[in-house]
Structure 1
Amino acid sequence: MQEPLVRLMGVTKVISSKTLVQDLTLDIPAGQVFGFLGPNGAGKTTTIRMMVGLMSITKGDILIGGYSIRKDYEKASSLIGAIVENPEMYKFLSGYKNLIHYARMMPNITEERIREVIELVGLTERIHDKVGTYSLGMRQRLGVAQALLHRPKLLILDEPTNGLDPQGIRELRDYLRALSREEGTTVFVSSHLLSEMELMCDTVGIIQKGKLIDVRQLRTDEGERSFEETAFEVHDIERAVQLLEVVQYRVHGNRVIIRGDRDIVAEVNAEFVRAGVKVYGIQPITTSLEDQFLEMTGSERHD
């Protein structure tokens, strides 16, 4: 089994006797888009600051590609590209010159790689214009390009959709999903836009009052939306229920609702057919990420 690219192991942050993050333990596999959600002040940005080395860890450790942020910071940080809050750019320079300037601080970044990331984030036509003329969405994309120059294995983005219009948000979402699929980059993204996270992420972790309260898979390994419950409309409820001894289920009218993944759905359907139970319909029941989030965190506002 492949080692997770990111491991947070009992990570705790205490400032002036106030615990901001408590015993946070989390594994993130390579090549995933992982969403980090939580109400205002839950500890998202504190966690990200510890991951990139901008804030010390009180207790625990963070491993990136097997390297400890605490003990082997240079090797761990070389695998990370990040935008924490707003990307900082020289507005009087063109987008291209900003990337050249940044590339000089990093080893082995070729002209070809610079052109590659410009194309990847869709800035080819405007790259020689001054950054001062860019929209916020274009500056965000240039920030992503800058963070990707050294081919990081992990891209960390803190609220990357802040201030973007719907088209900019959609473009950024498409770039991040393409990045994980085509370059195998792991993307760790925090955001308050739950509907966007649902479209963008493979898995989400939910943090509240500094504690991780849940991790949910939104997509299967094949990239398809995962669902937890499926409704079977059948002609004989009693017989159907007798066949579900090892499967979690509930009954609603003439429908039996089972809990499980696609394989379990296929097995249950085959069992019904073999036993002569007529199946009139099969329907996945999906609850939105927002519903799940509010259910777990109560009615607190999310940031």
Structure 2
Amino acid sequence: MKQEPLVRLLGVTKKVSGKVLVDDVTFDITPGQIFGFLGPNGAGKTTTIRMMVGLMSISNGDITIGGYSIRTHYEEAAAQIGAIVENPEMYKFLSGYHNLKHFARMMPGISEARIQEVVELVGLGSRIRDKVHTYSLGMRQRLGVAQALLHQPKLLILDEPTNGLDPQGIRELRDYLRRLTQEEGTTVFVSSHLLSEMELMCDTVAIIRHGKLIDIRKLRTEEGERMFEETAFIVSDVGVALQSLNAYEVRALGDRIIVRGNPDMIADMNAELVGAGVRVFGIQPVTQSLEDQFLEMTGGGHDVE
């Protein structure tokens, strides 16, 4: 059964002084995934996020979270969101624990058990009593995620969360976000301009440039497996291979055929080729990397706000 979207952007537009910063953006986010929002610096990512969390008004269109409109039912929509926009703000001379305790006092119904739960979830159990000024940037980022998760939001929004992190910190954050979707069922919306990290982190990526949505790419199956959109079969007879696979999206390229499909379909295609008497000498994934796709679609340029 198809899941209802947790988040819907419906023709969202933002204009400032006659300049269009976000232009008629529409997409849905289904629950329980890591959804990436990818674009060059100045593409409109942070502007979109500010509208999603109510920090900036929407010029046209609407955003709904869990069925509630940001424009007409802000409190109900915002109650389902945890967010870090730009950098998490902490009291550096308090411990990580007392930062969380202070934030918990401002939110109804957050128990001591919940504080301990999010501390363990983000892997800060051994350092949570230390003062924040002794934390690395990656630890502060994780503490910010813990703070945003205290009230058990359905949606976690992170704006450029890997900025300034070293490779180890980026890997840790990626692992914690994956655990979050699996253990808490939280949907994560993450923006970035780092192509390789988005490819490793996200299930689906929406690509934005000059404020316009230019593509949405599904990177993983529902089981979390990486998707190969195109695969090359190196075969003994291209003509017979094309004929036997005429029910699929397939084309010839030299001594090989290029087909589109998920891993299960590739296994079925291989069986059909063998059944038709075609010898298969090799099967190779030929999907462009997300970086290649992105540069092809955007021309490799940068936007300027």
- The TM tier, using the shorter chain, reads over 0.9
* Worse overlay, 30-39 or 258-267: 258-267
Give 2:131's aligned amino acid. K
Structure 1 Cα separation of the partners of residues 286 and 179 of structure 2: 27
Per the alignment, residue 41 of structure 1 pairs with 42
CA apart distance, 1:46: 0.3
1:128-167 pair list within 5 angstroms: 128-167=129-168
* Worse overlay, 260-269 or 225-234: 260-269
- Would you say how many aligned residue pairs link Structure 1 and Structure 2? 303
CA apart distance, 1:302: 7.4
Give 1:166's aligned amino acid. P
Structure 1 Cα separation of the partners of residues 88 and 147 of structure 2: 9
Confirm or deny that 1:91 pairs with 2:92.
Answer: yes
Per the alignment, residue 9 of structure 2 pairs with 8
Structure 2 Cα separation of the partners of residues 136 and 241 of structure 1: 54
1:1-303 pair list within 5 angstroms: 1-301=2-302
Runs (4+) off by over 3 Å: none
TM-score using structure 2 length:
0.97
Structure 2 Cα separation of the partners of residues 275 and 251 of structure 1: 17
CA apart distance, 1:262: 2.6
Give 1:96's aligned amino acid. Y
CA apart distance, 1:2: 1.8
CA apart distance, 1:29: 0.4
3-state DSSP class of the match of 2:208?
strand
3-state DSSP class of the match of 1:47?
helix
Contact 2:13 2:22 in 1 (8 A): yes
CA apart distance, 1:135: 1.2
Contact 2:294 2:300 in 1 (8 A): no
Show structure 2 runs of 5+ residues with no match: none
CA apart distance, 1:301: 3.5
CA apart distance, 1:171: 0.3
Structure 1 Cα separation of the partners of residues 112 and 41 of structure 2: 41
Contact 2:234 2:281 in 1 (8 A): yes
Contact 1:192 1:302 in 2 (8 A): no
Contact 2:37 2:207 in 1 (8 A): yes
3-state DSSP class of the match of 1:42?
coil
Contact 1:7 1:26 in 2 (8 A): yes
CA apart distance, 1:275: 1.4
Structure 2 Cα separation of the partners of residues 23 and 243 of structure 1: 43
* Worse overlay, 175-184 or 243-252: 243-252
* Worse overlay, 229-238 or 261-270: 261-270
CA apart distance, 1:279: 1.7
- Once the two structures are superposed, residues 75-106 of structure 1 have per-residue CA deviations (whole angstroms, 9 ceiling, x without a partner) of 10000000000000011111000000000011
Structure 1 Cα separation of the partners of residues 164 and 265 of structure 2: 42
* Worse overlay, 249-258 or 203-212: 249-258
- Once the two structures are superposed, residues 50-79 of structure 1 have per-residue CA deviations (whole angstroms, 9 ceiling, x without a partner) of 000000001110010111101110110000
TM-score using structure 1 length:
0.97
Structure 1 Cα separation of the partners of residues 294 and 240 of structure 2: 36
Give 2:267's aligned amino acid. A
3-state DSSP class of the match of 1:231?
strand
Q: What RMSD, in angstroms, separates the aligned Cα atoms of the two structures?
A: 1.3
